[in-house]
Structure 1
Amino acid sequence: MVCSHILSNVDSIESKVPVNTVVYKDDCMYNFDTAENNELGLDVCLKCFQSYSRGDYDYTSEHCKDSSHSTFLNVVKRLKPVDEKDIEERQNKMAKLEIKEFKEEEVYDIKYNIYCSIDNETFKLEEVPDKYQQLSDSVIKSNSSSRQEDIKAWEQEILPCEHSIEIQQFKSNVDLSKCTQCELKENLWICLHCGALGCGREQFGSNTPGNSHALKHYEMSQHPVAVKLGSLSADDIDNYDAYCYQCNDEVKIPNLLQYLKTFDIDLQKAVKTEKNLIELNLDQNLNWEFQLDGANGEKLKPIFGGNFTGLSNLGNSCYLNSVVQGLFDLDAYQQYFKDKQFPTYQQISNPSKDLKSQMLKIYNGLSSGKYSKPNVLKGDDYQLGIKPTMFKSLIGEEHPEFKTNKQQDAFEFLIYLLDKLDSEYGYDLNKSFKSILTSKVLCSNCFKGSARDDLVDNLSLNIEDEVLKIEEGQKTYKEVELIDSFKQYCEDEIIEGFKCEKCNETTNAIKSVGFKSFPKNLIVNINRIKLENWVPIKINVPVNIPEKIDLSDFRVELDENFEYKKEEKSQFTANEDIKNNLMQMGFPENRCIKALYKTGNNTLDEAMNWLFSHMEDADIDEPLVIEETKSEVSEELINNVMAMGFDHKLSKKALILNNSDPNAAVEWLFNNPNDDGELDTQPSKVDLAEEKPKLIEELTNSTISPHYKLKSIICHKGTSPHTGHYVIFIKKVIDGEEKWVLFNDEKVVECDESNIEDMKTNGYIYIFESV
């Protein structure tokens, strides 16, 4: 007999999940308990369709008290028993389950019941009224929140480009057996313009060979669109590899079937012979070892417990995992979140949409040690790790790149995340990263000068890239010291043709920069991207691991000859780090500022692509001129964007967000296909402009030491920050001794000397702590 509360609630519940309702059934809203790892399973509320758990803390009961929602669908998943010989097959199934190719029922025994929180009783589905059974069946069949957020979790969002929509072809006889310029018979790409067959680039992180002859064909012919032959399949004609070399991106090709027939290739009879780029990416992310073997060939020792919790890779999310691990390792973050409480249901009805809730959830998940245990699905050597699905979805929902499942630049993400957290918390959380950099300019004629203070939370430094030798196309670089990059950053720079406001002479001036105050935690990015033949490449210069650094020599010195410039209000401030990266690649400053303005100040890639496509603009080198902001955009511009197939509401929003630039608006629309067109009119949660003067005064009077010890290094393997793999090495105290620990997604291991070379050649972001 079911309890009275279940019976009394029959009329108030739905018979199925309402249309467009998100069902949160992956993990608890407040911790990382799941139907698999919690003995009592997961309780899905049959009113708000959010999940809660009963364990160390009874979040289900708490939700019931806050919301008066008392009935839940209880889901318990237990691994099916298998023989030892079948363990490897099950692990392979679990890996494929991550990309939704296998059903959970193949791995788990799953039980569903109805739970009443008020009476603390559980009932079988067949015991409860039909309406509960119907609603439960609807919940079971519905996509989970993470599934609904990204229905193809590992696939990239690939769209046609202007070059792949209409392809001019030239009939020719084609030999499809091998590359026309070498003997390779795999990784072959056919030019859809003339049929030339060339091998692709070597796929980093895989055994796929390549000599880049398809790319060389494009450079000679300017035929941009090519397709990988081995990826074509009659069984899945929409899933293939195509690339536009002019756009430097993967593309879809409308009418591919007809284009292939020009060269006597029948897509409807094609048999796939090679892994496509998505599958190669998947293999790389799931199986990357990143030196998990020690100097003597033995496996590095896995570590478990509090503050040794891994983060599962959600699909190219290693950049996010590494950044999050680095931040939550710091005392500033641990102390800030230590005593924080989750807001109540009345305050925040959906924790998945509340950044403070998600940050607290991650803190609890990483620090508790509850989820850092050996797991049979990883062969008992590693843990499963926690999945920051809600956090990733929330933090990236307003960013065209971070909301995708493409690999991203960890440093760009770190900057973006710090800005988002500042807008949520004010300067309280990230105060330890803040410092004041003072730029000064001294006239060589009258010896008077000006100075300007900038509030910063990171530094991006150049490194010397002296090549010692080249063998088989591989460059060996001279090892460098990080302190030399600080010297270069702060050294005097001569400005020729300087117009002095004091003596009114045109002369030379000396420009330099230094620290007015030092941060408690110093974030340093080294610029490993270099432009070669207008192609950005990553340079693997070994940087000696700077266990300690002394920045005393880089403190700014001012005398009575300098006066401070007043802070000028500007309608647009270019992202300083991205601007510097672009300038280091050889682009003039005016071009860099204009590119960042036109692309929304978002990412290095977006700005660089804009620059490449606007190189011939007559006004490309003129200073940026911003017209007075208008609350409305012209109907003519709206109609121009609507001609691309977008409705009036979306077109107007895109133009408003992109300063009435129709090209940028169309690009924004393609990057935000699911946007509802509503303009966010809510005020900022925190007035940073109001807090800034107080923070600057506090930093000006601070006595933080310029002596630092290294806390962690985010490392990257790959040819570009947007490909390859990120991990983080963190200094931890183990058995009373400081040791390096490698956090490679969910794999957490104690390091030895074999990891030193990885840290030297792949170090990308360094986090220091003042001592």
Structure 2
Amino acid sequence: MEGIAAKYVEKGLVRVPREADEVWKDECAYTFANAFTTGGGASPSSSSSEGGGVLVSLKTWIGYSEDSLGLALHADKGGLFLRIRRTKVEKGDDGDGSDGKKDEGVTEFALGTENGFKLDDQKYEVEEKLSLVAYPDNVEVGLPCDGLPPVVGECVSAIMSHKDGHTESLISEWKEELQVTKYAEALMQDESPVPVSSDPEKWRCASCGAKTNLWLNLSDGYIGCGRRNFDGTGGCGAALTHYEATGSMFPLAVKLGTITPKGADVFCYAPDENDMVINPLLSKHLQHWGINMLEMEKTDKTMAEMQIDLNLKHEFDSITEEGSKLVPAGGPGLVGLKNLGNSCYMNSVMQLVCSTSGVKSTYAAHAQGIFDAFAAQASSSSSSSSGKKPQSTLVVQMAKLSRALVLAQGVPREEEKEEGDCTLSVSPNMFKTLIGRGHPEFSSSRQQDSVEFFQHFLEQVSRAERADGSLLPESFKRTSSHFTFQFEDRFECGESKKVMYKQREDNVLALSIPLDKATNLEEIREYEERQNKKLKLEETKGAEEPKVVPNVPFQACLDSFAQEEVLDDFYSAAVMRKTAASRTVRFKSFPPYLVVYLRRYYVDASWRPCKMEVNVDIPDEISLEGYRSAGLKPGEQELPEGSPSKEEPAAVTPNQEIVNQLMGMGFSENGCKRAAIAMQNASAEVCMEWILQHMEDADFNDPIRGTGVQVGGPPAGHSQESIMMLTSMGFTERQCNAALDACQGSVERAADWLFSHADDLEGAIDAIETQKKGDGNKPGEGDKYEDVPGNYRLAGIVSHIGKNTGSGHYVAHVRRGSDWYIMNDEKVARSEKPPLHLAYMCLFEAKKD
């Protein structure tokens, strides 16, 4: 090996990575083989007991599997590779460095934390073995090895000491961030307090005498039960009843059995908080009642523990569909995605996306061709510092991911699987790092909204397909074209009766849920009457009656979407003034795949995100042809130019009431006015959606010139000041202009964009410039919209467990033929009763017949 290694060193095929260089050593760039992969890499046909692991090039510091090693040799006839092999050894009770502390089970609603659900690195010890491989010489020696050129040892040491390119930490997925209560500072407390006993055995509910789930009102010392849970456990609700009976003056209560030196569960009953909160003065408030936190021990379950015990344990067999046991499944189309820490939103969406025919034909079926084409292109520019890398090329990573999910190829074998476990899963580390790069939210480990991620994904993959369309099959259609469609808005002037038709594109159909159309309104009314009667009579005995939830037909949601909307402040060019008008929305075209999302989440009067408790019966098939626009009808007269469009922005004056509501959320006055103008003063909710999409526009907070505002898209030109600020960082003017185009003129975001694309800056700039020019001659450019008959069959859903889309957990259910499967991150199983009525996001596929 010494002579072979020296030969490659002389050819310059060994480079020592510097601290600023990226090293991808944990996973193959083309398959999902990793250091734990056994035998012949990711090849399921290999029976070799040797090999396995990941092979890292000592020249490019990119990882390969044995199956993909040939892709590393396009530029060179051979090279040296560091093989990293790891095995997991389950931690034992003795001699494992755990200081003999017993596992106390899950006590925190989180993943990867000390008291939460354990991740692999917390369950196992890892043994590591290194070796040096010369390929295609097929010579391998274990490391360390005497006699190798010093630079080889330096390179190996630098690779092993480097962090992998995927550095995002696995953090809590379920744990919600609590807000500091505003009631702590001025909390009233009884001037003559009766000390509370420090003996938990003496604690009793003042109403029913219960001894558990007890809450101490921090103002007057009342001890009462918490509320009853849906399964009949919990308490009589005396703590809440007491708060209401005392004029709602004393809002803070602490759960007695949870008090420890580290804190305790505190709940605020005030309507504007009405949630678990942080009380920074808890120690002082408890001292008032003779309770010393430093001396207290935990004797009761926290609210997080109770939530886990009730229905949210992160265990495969206990994920219930009305109590049914799930049968694990695995194979082509049935590969799970491991949770990387709050990545369930991404996992669920990609399971739906990769089940579509366009992704299957473009990426999964042609994955090897994409890999070969990329390797050939990369080899021709290998001497350039700006050469592309597979881990930072979205087209390559899409091929890698879709091939694994659709064909179950490139999926590593796992040693620790139990006998009979047929499930397959991969860790989408490179894909998540790449798809979120440069985005403040999707690059983080925080939970996100699945619908927002879906739209972000379509935008990013469209850019990638423009830049790297040469890697794709000649006949490919843009991924976004399979989901994009057009709405047509019809405006009718109330006075002149003249009309105007305007088209706009979208990729999701957002449906509001009209609760007043529930089919069980009478049952809901009777339930509420029974609950109010119980509350007045202070009845606490007997099992809690299951809550009656509204059942709203899906058709009612569609009818609500299509109904006529009245505009009170519409500028009509026909009468040359503002007047009343009506607006209706219809489809101008239908896509092959229609994504529908149900607006289950809303902002309450206190601007807090809340979730509707409602069931929507999602049908197996829908027909939307009745909602297709027919365009200008015979006898209709068109409004002259100057109607509410970009040509006449000055015609709209922002509604001050809407502006005030939006400003109450913390947005600037100018930004709120822009939203009201852009959305024609539709409503605060509609304007808020516009703000969320445009709040980072360069001119969002700028004073409004006149009374109108132009919305969307990058500015026509960029100020010289912005260009100079970026060029002072060492970038060219061309690079700065492209970055500002990509970030709608925001200098701060443009700087982040430039640094985040440093490994492939030229390719990213080419994509921006191509998009700006609107070049229609590249593959896939001419298929922005497809129009198919509006008859659809349900193909999959994403449902969400949690209070809002920024926390909780997402799960996908997908149809494979006539069967349904649940895809709960890495766990895949046949689904007996998919929870269609709880869907948040639906994927409908156009019917073929």
Matched, 1:445 2:495: yes
Which segments of 5 or more consecutive residues in structure 1 lack a partner in the other structure?
A: 84-88, 602-606, 611-617, 635-652
How far apart in 1 are the matches of 2:784 and 2:15? 59
Q: Which 10-residue stretch deviates more, 493-502 or 279-288?
A: 279-288
Matched, 1:568 2:646: yes
2:583 is matched with 511
2:658 is matched with none
Q: C-alpha displacement at 1:42, in angstroms?
A: 1.0
The normalised TM-score by structure 1 is 0.71
2:361 is matched with 335
Q: C-alpha displacement at 1:18, in angstroms?
A: 3.0
Q: C-alpha displacement at 1:512, in angstroms?
A: 0.9
Is the 8 Å Cα contact of residues 317 and 325 (structure 2) preserved in structure 1? no
Q: 1:431 to 1:190 in 2, by over 3 A?
A: farther
Summarize deviations over 1:40-85 as a string: whole Å, max 9, x none.
Answer: 221122333321110xx3x2332144367722221223455999xx
Q: 1:376 to 1:124 in 2, by over 3 A?
A: closer
Is the 8 Å Cα contact of residues 252 and 266 (structure 2) preserved in structure 1? no
Residues 606-645 of structure 1: matches in 2 within 5 Å?
631=719
1:643 is matched with none
Is the 8 Å Cα contact of residues 373 and 382 (structure 1) preserved in structure 2? no
Q: Residue type of the partner of 1:50?
A: I
How far apart in 1 are the matches of 2:685 and 2:171? 39
Matched, 1:685 2:768: yes
Q: C-alpha displacement at 1:446, in angstroms?
A: 3.0
How far apart in 1 are the matches of 2:503 and 2:89? 62
Q: Which secondary structure does the structure 2 equivalent of 1:485 belong to?
A: helix
Match of 1:143 among 136, 140, 163: 163
Matched, 1:61 2:70: yes
Q: Residue type of the partner of 1:568?
A: K
Q: C-alpha displacement at 1:400, in angstroms?
A: 2.5
Q: Which has the larger radius of gyration?
A: 2
Is the 8 Å Cα contact of residues 540 and 762 (structure 1) preserved in structure 2? no
Matched, 1:725 2:820: no
Residues 168-567 of structure 1: matches in 2 within 5 Å?
230=258, 287-289=314-316, 292=319, 299-337=325-363, 338-340=365-367, 341-342=370-371, 343-344=374-375, 345-346=378-379, 348-370=387-409, 371=411, 376-377=416-417, 380-381=420-421, 383-426=423-466, 428-465=478-515, 466=518, 467=521, 468-469=523-524, 470=527, 475-496=547-568, 498-504=570-576, 508-534=580-606, 535-557=608-630, 558-559=632-633, 561-563=636-638
Q: 1:215 to 1:563 in 2, by over 3 A?
A: farther
Q: Residue type of the partner of 1:397?
A: R
Summarize deviations over 1:594-632 as a string: whole Å, max 9, x none.
Answer: 56544669xxxxx9xx9xxxxxxx99xx97699999737
Summarize deviations over 1:569-605 as a string: whole Å, max 9, x none.
Answer: 7999999xx999x99997265566456544669xxxx
2:23 is matched with 23
Q: Give the root-mean-square deviation of aligned CA atoms.
A: 6.1
Matched, 1:708 2:785: no
Is the 8 Å Cα contact of residues 610 and 803 (structure 2) preserved in structure 1? yes
1:86 is matched with none
Q: C-alpha displacement at 1:437, in angstroms?
A: 1.0
Is the 8 Å Cα contact of residues 711 and 768 (structure 1) preserved in structure 2? yes
Q: 1:574 to 1:21 in 2, by over 3 A?
A: same
Q: Residue type of the partner of 2:619?
A: P
Q: 1:224 to 1:657 in 2, by over 3 A?
A: farther
Summarize deviations over 1:669-696 as a string: whole Å, max 9, x none.
Answer: 9xx9x99999x99465364465499999
Q: C-alpha displacement at 1:478, in angstroms?
A: 4.0
How far apart in 2 are the matches of 1:392 and 1:454? 30
Matched, 1:44 2:44: no
Is the 8 Å Cα contact of residues 227 and 242 (structure 1) preserved in structure 2? yes
Q: Which secondary structure does the structure 2 equivalent of 1:454 belong to?
A: strand
Q: C-alpha displacement at 1:108, in angstroms?
A: 4.6
Q: Which 10-residue stretch deviates more, 504-513 or 720-729?
A: 504-513
Q: 1:409 to 1:294 in 2, by over 3 A?
A: closer
Q: Residue type of the partner of 1:70?
A: G
Q: Residue type of the partner of 1:136?
A: V
1:615 is matched with none
The normalised TM-score by structure 2 is 0.66
Which segments of 5 or more consecutive residues in structure 2 lack a partner in the other structure?
A: 40-51, 93-101, 382-386, 467-476, 532-543, 651-669, 723-738
Summarize deviations over 1:250-277 as a string: whole Å, max 9, x none.
Answer: 9999999999999998888887786796
Q: C-alpha displacement at 1:544, in angstroms?
A: 2.2
Q: Which 10-residue stretch deviates more, 278-287 or 355-364?
A: 278-287
Q: Which secondary structure does the structure 1 equivalent of 2:348 belong to?
A: helix
Q: Which secondary structure does the structure 2 equivalent of 1:750 belong to?
A: strand
Q: 1:559 to 1:22 in 2, by over 3 A?
A: same
Q: 1:725 to 1:488 in 2, by over 3 A?
A: same
Q: Residue type of the partner of 1:437?
A: F
2:732 is matched with none
Q: Which secondary structure does the structure 2 equivalent of 1:385 belong to?
A: strand
Matched, 1:587 2:614: no
Q: Residue type of the partner of 1:479?
A: N
How far apart in 2 are the matches of 1:189 and 1:47? 65
Q: Residue type of the partner of 2:391?
A: S
How far apart in 1 are the matches of 2:769 and 2:227? 47
Is the 8 Å Cα contact of residues 711 and 767 (structure 1) preserved in structure 2? yes
Is the 8 Å Cα contact of residues 304 and 374 (structure 1) preserved in structure 2? no
